[in-house]
Amino acid sequence: MTLPDRDSGSVLLQEIVEQPAAIARVADNSPAYAEIAAEMRRRGVRVTRLVAHGSSDNAASFGVYAFGLLPGWTAVRDSISLTVYYGAEIDVTDSCVIGLSQSGETPDVVEYVELARRRGAYTVAITNDRSSSLANAADAVLELGAGPEQAIAATKTYTTQIAALALLAAHAAGAGDEYADGIRATAAAAAEAIPDLQARARELAVPFAFIGRMFVIGRGIEFATTREISLKLLETCRVAAEPLTSTDMIHGPVAALDTFFPVWAIASEEQSLAAVREAALRARAAGAALIASGTSAESIPDADAYLRVPEPPFPLLAPLVTVIPGQLFAWALAQAKGLDPDRPVGLSKVTLAP
């Protein structure tokens, strides 16, 4: 049994499908990234501080790994509240600050960037709106070029942020051209995979329609994906989905699992795969239903469902595709639950509140 076809009307689905083209446009903007990476090197940046909320903050999780693995730099998801609410005056003269915001209007991200720039940091805005407050506040702007995002739940602005951070880090490491090509190749592979993933997500949504709780596990490069899939399930499907590193799940939360508390494991072909596999086995032993996705989904034994995605030319680029099964599942599960995937209850597109 699958659901009736309500595909044509969903802007969420449309934007999920648009992602490969949007990601490829980031690669086409490679010279702008090269220029900013050169400026970061010229200034001898010691710490890259990523500031964002929501999906953009999930993308920032990826940035920590992109900068750590490519140029070997320290990048952190910085505390916004320390600077904006508590007025801490931390020395940022050796820092690059990257503010990420789809709209470019998230107030405390804008305020953080303004303060950091005044204090001598090199500030970069990554946003979908070149004329936004964030773009105006920063020294330099990287426009995502994702096109208008109309669904409340972010999709293409998230994956273009991932591409943007990967490309910037690659240029910082002198590998910008290879990664621009890699992003294009990954986009093409994603476009090819989407129709089948969409069909499988629809099938899978039906038996999960009654689920109210879920853990999404992954680690390292894929922790961003883990967080973003959880957020899609929370806001679109009203599932209490919690992102956990595989290690943290074993450390305690595994005690909460049972048959009706499933686990989604993101298993990609990279160095943290063994840890994820181990945690998935523990979840299985606790009786939890198990969904395995990622570029190496089949390395999770005995899962109830597999949503494998194609392997990109560089393992670091996997999060460009591994999030897609989660987005499609959230779209399908919302429908299976009788919710409108385009308009989650009580949310608006831009959060202006504190």
**By CB under 8 A, residue 353 contacts a second copy:** yes
Minimum CB separation of residue 270 from a second copy in Å reads 8
Q: Considering only the stretches 17-25, 76-84, 158-166, 303-311, report the one whose residues sit in contact with a second copy under the rule CB under 8 A.
A: 76-84
Minimum CB separation of residue 97 from a second copy in Å reads 12
Task: Please identify, using beta-carbon distances, which residue of 126 and 239 lies nearer to a second copy.
Answer: 239
**By CB under 8 A, residue 333 contacts a second copy:** no
Task: Please identify, using beta-carbon distances, which residue of 188 and 240 lies nearer to a second copy.
Answer: 240
Do 304 and 290 touch, CB atoms closer than 8 A? yes
d(CA 164, CA 157): 10
Q: How many CA atoms lie within 13 A of 284 on its CB side?
A: 16
Minimum CB separation of residue 221 from a second copy in Å reads 8
Task: Kindly write out the interface string for residues 236-275 of this chain, putting x where it contacts a second copy by CB under 8 A and - elsewhere.
Answer: x-xxx-x--xxxx-xxxxxxx-x--x--------xxx-xx
**By CB under 8 A, residue 57 contacts a second copy:** yes
SS3 annotation, the chain: CCCCCCHHHCHHHHHHHCHHHHHHHHHHCHHHHHHHHHHHHHHCCCEEEEECCHHHHHHHHHHHHHHHHCCCCEEEECCHHHHHCCCCCCCCCCEEEEEEECCCCCHHHHHHHHHHHHCCCEEEEEECCCCCHHHHHCCEEEECCCCCCCCCCCCHHHHHHHHHHHHHHHHHCCCHHHHHHHHHHHHHHHHHHHHHHHHHHHHHHHHHCCCCEEEEEECHHHHHHHHHHHHHHHHHHCCEEEEEEHHHHHCCHHHHCCCCCCEEEECCCCCCHHHHHHHHHHHHHCCCCEEEEECCHHHCCCCCEEEECCCCCCHHHCHHHHCHHHHHHHHHHHHHCCCCCCCCCCCCCCCCCC
**By CB under 8 A, residue 81 contacts a second copy:** yes
**By CB under 8 A, residue 41 contacts a second copy:** no
Task: Please identify, using beta-carbon distances, which residue of 14 and 351 lies nearer to a second copy.
Answer: 351
User: N- to C-terminal Cα distance for the chain?
Assistant: 44
**By CB under 8 A, residue 319 contacts a second copy:** no
Contact residue for a second copy among 2, 85, 178, 199 (CB under 8 A): 85
**By CB under 8 A, residue 88 contacts a second copy:** yes
**By CB under 8 A, residue 86 contacts a second copy:** yes
**By CB under 8 A, residue 346 contacts a second copy:** yes
What does residue 292 show for φ and ψ, rounded to 5 degrees? -115, 130
Q: Considering only the stretches 28-36, 168-176, 216-224, 289-297, report the one whose residues sit in contact with a second copy under the rule CB under 8 A.
A: 216-224
**By CB under 8 A, residue 213 contacts a second copy:** yes
Angle at which helix 324-336 crosses helix 223-237, to 10 degrees, equals 20
Minimum CB separation of residue 63 from a second copy in Å reads 11
Angle at which helix 30-43 crosses helix 176-205, to 10 degrees, equals 120
**By CB under 8 A, residue 105 contacts a second copy:** no
**By CB under 8 A, residue 125 contacts a second copy:** no
**By CB under 8 A, residue 76 contacts a second copy:** yes
Task: Please identify, using beta-carbon distances, which residue of 194 and 254 lies nearer to a second copy.
Answer: 254
Task: Please identify, using beta-carbon distances, which residue of 191 and 240 lies nearer to a second copy.
Answer: 240
Instruction: Looking at residues 150 to 179 of the shown chain, list those that interact with a second copy (rule: CB under 8 A).
Output: 153
Contact residue for a second copy among 26, 51, 234, 317 (CB under 8 A): 234
**By CB under 8 A, residue 185 contacts a second copy:** no
Q: Considering only the stretches 57-65, 157-165, 291-299, 322-330, report the one whose residues sit in contact with a second copy under the rule CB under 8 A.
A: 57-65
Task: Please identify, using beta-carbon distances, which residue of 4 and 346 lies nearer to a second copy.
Answer: 346
